[in-house]
Structure formats: structure tokens, C-alpha cells
Amino acid sequence: MSTGKNLKGLIRPLLIVACMGASYGDADEFKAVGRCPEIRGTQTAPTSYLGRTNPLSPTAENRAAGARLYQDDARPTPCVTCHGVLGDGQGPAAAYLNPAPRNFRCRSTMLDIPDGQLYWVIEQGSGELHHPARQGAQHLGRPGRTQTVTAMRSYGDYLTEEEIWQLVLYIRSLANETD
Ligand code: HEC
């Protein structure tokens, strides 16, 4: 991965975390990096998204396109920075984040998350300081959480719909059969 650009993209999420200071006080249970099964406090997507299934065929080409975006090309920060090369949620930034990045290797957790939910979080972010017009009050209600912001930003302004579905295909391919 091209480290210079990636670090630049990281400044914003890390600044958000730093600015929240002591008030960024999520319960520690959300902080464990790479845990499986994961404790997941992520807001549920609107039903208009939840019902969607991946329109792309699971071809090697689509998965490879998802891999390129995940590992290197997605801007402003490629997914690998937080979710890790293997998708285990242990990227270089993970230790600084609360909640921790999702562990895509954790099959038992990932099986319960519908395609449309994955799509929604990639497009809209998960409680990011975000597009109010597009995400409404998403950051206000996060059950079980005392803080409102996560490092998972919205990529809707950077990725096409097809690219997001390619990422969903790739993420699904990372699940570890034994978890
Ligand atoms: C700066 C760190 C960071 C980067 C970069 C990042 N993520 Fe995340 N991601 C997170 C965190 C933190 C969470 C956990 C959010 C939560 O618990 O609600 C998360 C959660 C997710 C989820 C879980 C959705 C759910 O409902 O459980 C998906 C899918 C996801 N990220 C995909 C991506 C993809 C694809 C990219 C790259 C295009 C990406 N992430 C880049 C930090 C990051």
C-alpha cells in the first residue's frame, strides 16, 4: 500500500478520536481488536437498504476489484488501514480506535450481517461525523454506547455503487471457515 497517502487519509479519523478526548468513552467491550465473536453495537440500516442483496456475480474479477479497493485504492483511507490485510480488524490504526474495526474473518459474526447492512455502512459510515442530509440522526441513537462517533467514515462520495458491492463480495470472501 502507498503509505504516504494512507497516512494522510488517517489524520482525520485520528483527529476525531483525539478531539473527543475523555468524552470518547465507549465501554471497553467495544474496543477489543480482532475479537470473535464480536460485540457489535452498530446501528441497523434502514429497511430500504437491509433488503438489498449483492447484484454482482461472485466472479474472480469482481472479487479482485474489491481486493484492490480494500488493500490500496479506496480513498481517502483504504480499508486495510483499520480492518487489516487479512480482514481480521487488526490494521495499523486499530489499536487507537473505540469501537474497534469489524473483524471480517469472524464468520459467526459476519453471517448475521446482511449484504444491505454492509453496503449501507460502507456508503454512509457508522455514526461518522457525516452527511446529515444523507444519514439523518444516525449518530444520535447507538444502543449501548455512550459515544456517538466511530472511525468508520462514509465512502459514498468516493466509491460507485458497483465498487461498494465489489467490496462487499471481497469482505465476505475473507471469513475464516473455523470461526
Ligand atoms: C479509519 C478506520 C477505518 C477505515 C479506513 C475503514 N473502516 Fe470500516 N470500520 C471501522 C470501524 C471502527 C468499524 C466499527 C463501526 C461500528 O462498530 O459501528 C468499521 C465497521 C465496518 C463495517 C461493519 C458494518 C456492520 O454493520 O457491522 C464494514 C462493512 C466496514 N467497516 C467496511 C469498510 C470498508 C469496505 C472500508 C474501506 C472502503 C472501511 N471499512 C474502512 C473503521 C474503519
pLDDT tens column, 30-48? 888 888 998 888 888 889 9
- Rounding to the nearest 10 degrees, give the CA dihedral for residues 151, 147, 94, 4: 30
Cis, peptide link before residue 55, omega less than 30° from 0: no
Delimit the domains of the chain by residue range. Answer: 3-173
Q: Does 84 contact ligand 1 (Cβ within 6 A)? A: no
Q: What residues contact residue 8 under an 8 Å CB cut-off, 6+ apart? A: 76
pLDDT(173) > 70: yes
- Per-residue confidence (pLDDT) for residue 44, from 0 to 100: 87
For the entire predicted model, the pTM comes to 0.84
Q: Which helix (H) or strand (E) holds 19?
A: helix 3-20
Q: Does 81 contact ligand 1 (Cβ within 6 A)? A: yes
CA of 42 to the centre of ligand 1 (A): 10
Other Cβ atoms less than 10 A from the Cβ of 178: the count is 7
Q: Are the C-beta atoms of 121 and 152 separated by less than 8 Å?
A: yes
